[in-house]
Amino acid sequence: MKLKKLLGLTLLGIISASLFVGCSNSSKEEDKTIKVGASPTPHTEILEVVKPLLKEKGYELEVIQFDDYVLPNTSLSEGELDANYFQHVPYLEQMNKEKDLKLTYTAKVHIEPMGIYSKKHDKLDNLKNGAKISVPNDATNEARALQLLADNGIIEVADKELITAKDITKNLKNVEIVEVEAAQVPSTLQDVDFAVINTNFALNVNLNPTKDALAIESNDSPYANILACREDNKDSEKVKALTEALTSDEVKSFIKEKYKGSIVPTF
């Protein structure tokens, strides 16, 4: 009986050790996968250039596409993603405040100048009294859009960082500001006189900022798109490898050749 019991315990030990090794190997394999949340255009396109660079370092890049500006940050905060790539610094800071997130960033990658577009007018000079203008409804991008309208003499706004339609101080043309989720602004083009659209969403509907925009932000805009991560994984090997690949010469060349100035690398 003692021999049988000893053999049984030995066999159980071997099985347990095998399972442990199997789990350990599985964990190691999983640890080589980097999950990144991104907008479809241009972020996912740029990340496709990054994939082979990370492959050389032994990492598999998994890109999860998002069509909104909230889920990529909450998913990152909850540990479902290792990083995300879709937003600028002011938006990240606003989300951290609003949702009590602990997110940060490692690199500024590119600028997407916001532009004013129209399907009904070929000049901003054609602005009529009571014209409708659609803008993104999130805090930082609405402020950015209204500032662009102000820079082009359409309205005047209060001198502060975050502004909404309530902060318009002069509106001689009585324009109506239509606040819409950023991803949906392009779909309003048929219903409004002008729309202020983020470049990634403009590209999604085949609008080229350098050719189709009636006005566009200057290249010194502070709204550079970043590689965001959590404070607790900023110094991880995964994020370091991803940051290095995303700010490589290969990526810089791709952005310049692919987007012809409508998107500008910042590294």
Percentage of the chain lying above the pLDDT 90 cut: 78
Q: How confident is the model at residue 30 (pLDDT cuts 50, 70, 90)?
A: low
160 shares a domain with 125:
yes
15 has a pLDDT exceeding 70: no
Cα-Cα-Cα-Cα dihedral sign, residues 138, 187, 48, 36: positive
Percentage of the chain lying above the pLDDT 70 cut: 88
Question: In total, how many domains does the chain have?
Answer: 2
92 shares a domain with 64:
yes
Name 40's Cβ contacts closer than 8 Å, sequence gap at least 6.
65, 67, 200, 204
Span 103-123, mean pLDDT?
96
205 shares a domain with 235:
no
| Residue after which a domain boundary falls, among 216, 236, 253 | 216
99 shares a domain with 59:
yes
CATH number at residue 59: 3.40.190.10
50 shares a domain with 98:
yes
191 has a pLDDT exceeding 50: yes
| Residue after which a domain boundary falls, among 199, 216, 233 | 216
Hey, what are 35's tokens? 């999950």
Of residues 139 and 194, more confidence is placed in 194
Residue 19 burial (CB count, 10 A): 10
Model pTM?
0.74
159 has a pLDDT exceeding 60: yes
Asked if the structure places residue 20 within a domain, the reply is: no
Averaged confidence pLDDT in the chain: 89
* Apex 53 CA angle, 52 and 55, nearest 5: 60
119 shares a domain with 102:
no
Asked if the structure places residue 18 within a domain, the reply is: no
209 shares a domain with 152:
yes
* Domain that includes residue 145, residue range: 115-216
Query: SS3 string of the chain?
Result: CHHHHHHHHHHHHHHHHHHHHHHHHHHHHHHCEEEEEECHHHHHHHHHHHHHHHHCCCCEEEEEECCCCCHHHHHHHCCCCCEEEEEEHHHHHHHHHHHCCCEEEEEEEEECCCEEECCCCCCHHHCCCCCEEEEECCHHHHHHHHHHHHHCCCCEECCCCCCCHHHEEECCCCCEEEEECHHHHHHHCCCCCEEEECHHHHHHCCCCHHHHCCEECCCCCCCEEEEEEECCCCCCHHHHHHHHHHCCHHHHHHHHHHHCCCCEECC
Query: Which of 198, 188, 180 is CA-nearest to residue 42?
Result: 198
Question: Which tens digits make up the pLDDT trace of 54-85?
Answer: 999 999 999 999 999 999 999 999 999 999 99
Asked if the structure places residue 107 within a domain, the reply is: yes
13 has a pLDDT exceeding 90: no
Span 86-111, mean pLDDT?
95
Asked if the structure places residue 37 within a domain, the reply is: yes
Kindly report whether the peptide bond that precedes residue 42 is cis, defined as omega within 30 degrees of 0.
yes
